[in-house]
Homo-oligomer: A and B are copies of this chain.
């Protein structure tokens, strides 16, 4: 075999094997319509030439890509350099799930303000899109509607696309909020506060809030006694929110935060004011990001199963692409009791 200039093509193999290029193509995709001997010969030559199917050519012909795109968008206010650890964990599980199913993953960060919605599938770079991120849901929804109108294949994490539950994988946030509320009640706490946006601009956080309120009401605590303050999912926002709450003269002995990052910032602010966690204020977070177990005190939190979530996102997107029915998936949250709530022995 003489070395060829440039990469080998199926024609080179055909020439060397003494068959037609069509046969080579069939053999390489292991078509049952090809004689085993012919196949063996072709495989051997392909291996020798270090031949790889040109994906651009095969995708162009097949009109498909074998690739999924992950669009990760963030609140534009967030520091550029840091990605929310929760999404990073999701990224990990999504990447694994893709590999397992023989798909490639195209990853891209986006600002919510950009025109991210249109391009990946239309330009044939991906068969479908996975959306991941926090941000104002009202802005988000608009893009989602464009995607819907363009019949792009997509799934998203967390927030439901109005009237289309099949496009979403989400945690049971209401249940998560209930778990947090109930647990805090069990610790004998009476005066509650919640950090995180609790409006339809942030449906996930809202559900967490509502879940907690639900638990409190069952225990005879009225919603109007609960202090609530908006916070995006960053440490800084949690820190600031506590200071604001105190400036407003609000007092509380139980604090439920819409995310761990908020909780960690809040704990810092509380400690800076000389308050003890959990003695003075019991704190529960949400997500169970890796740092949660390292904060002081270790953070009690509502865990979201990122492995399952990532897996389901990929599985459902693939089903959508293949026009198969999807399972409606809701991930069940789980409370991880550590020290910040005052329950576990220290």
Binding site for B on A (CB under 8 A): 7, 50, 52-57, 59-60, 65, 67, 72, 80-83, 85, 88, 91-93, 95-96, 99, 104-109, 118-119, 122-125, 150, 264, 290-291, 294-296, 307
- Find the B residue at minimum CB distance from A80: B96
Taking CB atoms, residues of chain B closer than 8 Å to A92 are 81-83, 88, 109
Structural contact, A54 and B124, CB atoms closer than 8 A: yes
A76 to chain B, nearest CB (A): 14
Please report the C-alpha to C-alpha distance between residue A150 and residue B50 in the assembled complex, in whole angstroms: 9
Structural contact, A56 and B53, CB atoms closer than 8 A: no
Name A123's contact: one of B54, B96, B119 (CB within 8 Å).
Answer: B54
Taking CB atoms, residues of chain B closer than 8 Å to A53 are 123
Structural contact, A56 and B124, CB atoms closer than 8 A: yes
Structural contact, A7 and B99, CB atoms closer than 8 A: no
- Find the B residue at minimum CB distance from A72: B95
A300 to chain B, nearest CB (A): 15
A273 to chain B, nearest CB (A): 18
- Total copies of the chain: 2
A6 to chain B, nearest CB (A): 9
Taking CB atoms, residues of chain B closer than 8 Å to A54 are 60, 123-124
Structural contact, B119 and A108, CB atoms closer than 8 A: no
Structural contact, B95 and A107, CB atoms closer than 8 A: yes
A102 to chain B, nearest CB (A): 11
A322 to chain B, nearest CB (A): 18
Structural contact, A108 and B118, CB atoms closer than 8 A: no
A-B contacts, 24 listed (Cβ < 8 Å): A52-B124, A53-B123, A54-B124, A55-B56, A55-B125, A56-B59, A56-B60, A56-B124, A57-B60, A57-B124, A60-B60, A67-B106, A80-B96, A85-B290, A88-B88, A91-B91, A95-B107, A99-B109, A104-B125, A106-B107, A290-B290, A290-B291, A294-B295, A296-B296
A308 to chain B, nearest CB (A): 11
- Find the B residue at minimum CB distance from A6: B63
Leading 3 A-B pairs by shortest Cβ distance: A52-B122, A294-B294, A56-B60
Structural contact, A108 and B95, CB atoms closer than 8 A: yes
Structural contact, A108 and B109, CB atoms closer than 8 A: no
A106 to chain B, nearest CB (A): 5
Please report the C-alpha to C-alpha distance between residue A105 and residue B125 in the assembled complex, in whole angstroms: 11
Taking CB atoms, residues of chain B closer than 8 Å to A65 are 56
Please report the C-alpha to C-alpha distance between residue A88 and residue B104 in the assembled complex, in whole angstroms: 18
Name A55's contact: one of B52, B108, B123 (CB within 8 Å).
Answer: B123
Structural contact, A105 and B104, CB atoms closer than 8 A: no
Structural contact, B105 and A107, CB atoms closer than 8 A: yes
Taking CB atoms, residues of chain B closer than 8 Å to A119 are 52
A129 to chain B, nearest CB (A): 13
- Find the B residue at minimum CB distance from A70: B107
Interface centre among A56, A80, A85, A107 (most CB of B within 10 A): A56
Please report the C-alpha to C-alpha distance between residue A82 and residue B306 in the assembled complex, in whole angstroms: 11
Please report the C-alpha to C-alpha distance between residue A57 and residue B44 in the assembled complex, in whole angstroms: 29
Taking CB atoms, residues of chain B closer than 8 Å to A55 are 56, 123-125
Q: A54-B124, A106-B107 are in contact. List 8 more A-B contacts (CB 8 A).
A: A55-B123, A56-B56, A56-B57, A56-B65, A91-B91, A91-B107, A104-B108, A106-B106
A24 to chain B, nearest CB (A): 16
